[in-house]
Each structure stands twice: as structure tokens, then as C-alpha cells.
Amino acid sequence: MSLEEKINADIKTAMLAREKDKLEALRAIKSAILLAKTAGGVASEISEVEENKLLQKLIKQRKDAAEIYTSQARQDMADPELFQAGVIEKYLPQQLSEDEIKIEINKIISETGATSAKDMGKVMGVATQRLAGKADGKIISQLVKTLLV
């Protein structure tokens, strides 16, 4: 079952259960998928990697908005954003732990022959492709910086 089919089925379930906040998050995912599929004027399928990037982008948007609301003492606005981020995260593949990410980055560093911070771009390019959807880009970047010192 594709992500789009899962989302459509979950939208129906959320509608029947009258889960307003969950429904809002699911509709945002569906909208993002439809926009990605029809980008460029021609409807086409999107890959699983692109779907994961879309989901990560939606999660980041929700978390950033929640952070802004929290900084402005608007917890009533931040809570729904965090809830929606949690709903969207359920559709991502299992995230790697920091130790697992470190192991993968060390492999990439040895494969690319990187020795210093000058090679960070080379390592980041491979790491973001290989770990797409499995790890947050911010965590990958921090670990690459610390390992290439």
C-alpha cells in the first residue's frame, strides 16, 4: 500500500471518528503529495525518498511554528502543531539512533576519503542521500562536523 493510499484510508477513519486535529494533519500530507505529483504541470508518481522528504518538511514546519508560538507564550497554538507533527512522524520510516547515524557517517567518511572540515560538503552530500528519511538533517550535520574535526 502506497503512502497516498494509507493517507486516504486514514482520512476516512479520522472523519468517522471525528478527530479534527488528526484529520487536519492528514489532509496536509495529502495536499503536499498532490502538489508534488502535479509539479511541472504533468501528473507523475513520486518516489518513496521524495515522500519522506515531504513528510520531513511538513514535520519541520509544524515544529518551527510550535517553537514560535511557545516563544510568544501561546501554548494553546503550539499544542496542535506538535500534535500534528506527531501524527505526520508516524508515516516516516523508523528513525535511526544517534549511534547508528554515527556508524553510517564513519563509513561514509572512510569511503569518500574525507580528512578535514574542508571535505564536509562531500560527506554531507552522500550522507543526506543515504540517510534520507531515516535521520534528521540537523543531526547528520552536527555529527559530520564533530567527526571531521
pLDDT digits (tens, 9 = 90+) for 78-119: 999 999 999 999 998 888 888 888 888 888 888 888 777 888
pLDDT at residue 148, as a whole number:
80
With 90 as the cut, is the pLDDT of residue 29 above it? yes
> Can you say how many angstroms the Cα of residue 134 is from the centroid of all Cα atoms in its chain?
8
Which whole number is the average pLDDT over 115-134? Answer: 82
Q: Average pLDDT, whole number, for the chain?
A: 88
With 80 as the cut, is the pLDDT of residue 1 above it? no
pLDDT at residue 8, as a whole number:
93
| H/E stretch holding 69 | helix 48-71
Between the CA of residue 121 and those of 87, 100, 113, 140, what are the distances in Å?
32, 21, 12, 12
Which whole number is the average pLDDT over 113-133? Answer: 82
pLDDT at residue 25, as a whole number:
93
pLDDT at residue 68, as a whole number:
96
Domains of the chain: 3-89 (1.10.1510.10), 98-147 (1.10.10.410)
Backbone torsion region of residue 113, taken as left when φ is above 0, otherwise alpha when ψ lies between -120 and 50, otherwise beta: left
Between the CA of residue 68 and those of 24, 62, 95, what are the distances in Å?
20, 10, 25
pLDDT at residue 101, as a whole number:
87
pLDDT at residue 10, as a whole number:
95
Say whether 101 sits in a helix, a strand or coil.
helix
- Cell 552530500 found at: 125
Backbone torsion region of residue 118, taken as left when φ is above 0, otherwise alpha when ψ lies between -120 and 50, otherwise beta: alpha
Residue 24: CA count within 13 A, CB half-sphere: 10
pLDDT at residue 145, as a whole number:
87
137, 101 Cβ separation under 8 angstroms: no
Residue 84: CA count within 13 A, CB half-sphere: 26
pLDDT at residue 46, as a whole number:
85
Q: Name the pTM for this structure.
A: 0.73
Give the pLDDT band of residue 138 (cuts 50, 70, 90). confident
pLDDT at residue 6, as a whole number:
93
